[in-house]
Structure 1
Amino acid sequence: MTESLRSLPLDLAPATDPVPGDRALDVPARGWFARPSLEVARDLLGASVTHRSPEGSVTVRLTEVEAYDGERDPGSHAFRGRTERNRAMYGEPGHLYVYRHLGLHHCVNVVCGPLGQASAVLLRAGEVTDGVELARARRLAAGVCDSDRQIARGPARLAVALGLDLTHYGLDVTEEGGDVVVHRDARTMRPAIATGPRVGVSGDGGDASVYPWRLWLTGDPTVSAYRPATRRTR
C-alpha cells in the first residue's frame, strides 16, 4: 500500500470532474476506473449501477462501498497472488469481479487501478431507484425482505436485487449499451461521506487505523450494519 493512498483525505478531496458530454447522465470511460481503489470507491458513492436483463431493468444508487488494494492489501482476495478465482481483478479496469461468499451468496466488485494491479471496489449497499418491483420480487424469492430499504442493503442483497451472479463475471461496465453499466449524474453534488473499518475482514486488513476503507453516505438508511469479524472471511 502506498503512503499517498493510505493518507488520502476523503472528506477534503476535490470532486472528480464530470465526464464530458451533453447528457446529465454519464457513463465513465475506462480511464475513470484506472485510478487507486480508494479514489474510485469515493466517487462511486451516489453513482448508479443498472442491469438490463430479459426480466427487465434494475438500477441501484450506491450508498456503501469498500476499497481493496490488491497484493499490497491483506484484506484483498489478491493478497496471495493470482488465482483462477480472482483473475478478473488482474484484467482491465471497469470490469466486474463476482465471487461467491462462503459458497452461499454472490458479491459484486468493480475492478479498478492500472492493468495487473488487482485492486477493486466491493459494492456493499444501495437504494433501488428503478425496477423496484422486479428487485423486490428477486429478494422475496431469495428470502425475507420486510421493507424497500432492505432490498439492496448489504452486498449479497444488492447482487440479488440487480440479478447478478457468476455468469456476469468479467463483464465490462463502461459500455453505455451493455447489460451492466455504471453511470453517474453530473448534476449531483458530492454527498457527505463517512469512513470506517471494512466488514468481515479481520487481522491486519481489518485494522481501522490503517484501512478505514469502508465508505458510505452519511445517514443513508440503506447502508448496512457494521459487523466486526473474528476471522478473515472475505
Structure 2
Amino acid sequence: MATNTEIPTLDHDGMIPAYVAEPEGTPRGAIIVQQEIFGVDPGIRKKANEWAAKGYLAVAPDTFWRQKPGIELSPYDEGEFQQAINHMMSHDFDLGIRDIEAVIHWVRREKGVEKVGLVGFCMGGKIAYMTAARTDIDASVGYYGVMIDQMLGEKHAIAKPLMLHIPMADHFVDAATQKVIHEGLDDHPKVTLYDYEGLDHGFAAEIGARRDEAGAELADGRTAAFFAEHLG
C-alpha cells in the first residue's frame, strides 16, 4: 500500500489513507493531488513528489478507501480498467467531498498550512469542480474532468479560482458536452477554461502511452503558474 499517512474523517468515524510528500523547509502552500480512477498509483505519487519539490506540501488521499483501500490498477489492462470503472460507479461523491474537506481541515490544523489547492485528474477533474463549489479551498484545477456538464447548477457557489483543462478529442467527453461546459462557464469570473486541440483523455498522465508530452507540459505549466498566483 502506497499511502503513508491517515487523516481523520470529519465525523471521526474513520481514517482516510493518504500519500503525503513534504517539501524542504516551510511549505509555500499545500496541494491535494486527487487521483484518477486507478488509485494512488505511481503516477499520482510522482505528481505529489513533484509538487513537494516545488515547495508545496502535497497530499494524495485514497478516494476509494471505504470500498477497497490501497488499489493500484492499470488503464491498459481491460480487467483492471473495468475494476476501476466499477469503483467509480460505486463511489459516493457527496461523501467523498466531505473527505476532501477533512483533508483541507487537516492540512490547515495539523500541518499549519493555510493556503490549500487541489488538482484532480479524470474523475478527479469532476472532484476538483465539486471541491470548488462545495468547500472553501483556495484554488482548484481539473484535468479532463467528466460529468461537469451535469453539475453546472452548482456554478454559482464557486467563489475561489477554478481552472479546467479540456482535451478537445476526449473520447469520454464529446464535442457537444464540451460546448455545454463552455456555454455554462465561459462567463464565470472565477473559472478559466483551456482547450487542447487534438488531445485525448489522460494526456497529462505521468506514466504510460496516454501522455502527450507537449500538451502535458503546456497544461502543467499553466497549473503551476495558477497555483503560484493563488497559493504562493
Q: How does the TM-score come out when normalised to structure 2?
A: 0.27
Q: How does the TM-score come out when normalised to structure 1?
A: 0.27
Give 1 or 2: higher helix fraction: 2
**Which of structures 1 and 2 has the larger relative contact order (alpha carbons within 8 angstroms, sep 6+)?**
1
